Structure 1
């Protein structure tokens, strides 16, 4: 059950992460990355690791995009 909840949190973070992917909106990742961190924490409590891995991949992608923009753009 926790794995399913983690996957849902990851999908919400993914949907919220689409808008900041546009130029000049990358600062929105400062709000999306903590959601994915919560999803990874919930996924770590689960016996399966699908939800945790989804959220870790999202954190990696969003963090990389945030670093490419210098943390602001």
Structure 2
């Protein structure tokens, strides 16, 4: 994305349940803070991994990897 990026102090808990970088009463964005926690759990259940990379000047790229399993014929 092209947003402001993820604050350094929030990065270690970004995939936690109810995690929100801005938890002040005047925050501008909605949400429950569950989206990334749900993504992480689903990907882990499929033996994958998820992460992110902050870009200099703002923005973040989220990524995930899933193992490739051969298709089983019925």
Q: Same fold (TM over 0.5)?
A: no
- Normalised by the length of structure 1, the TM-score is 0.30
Higher relative contact order (CA 8 A, sep 6+): 1
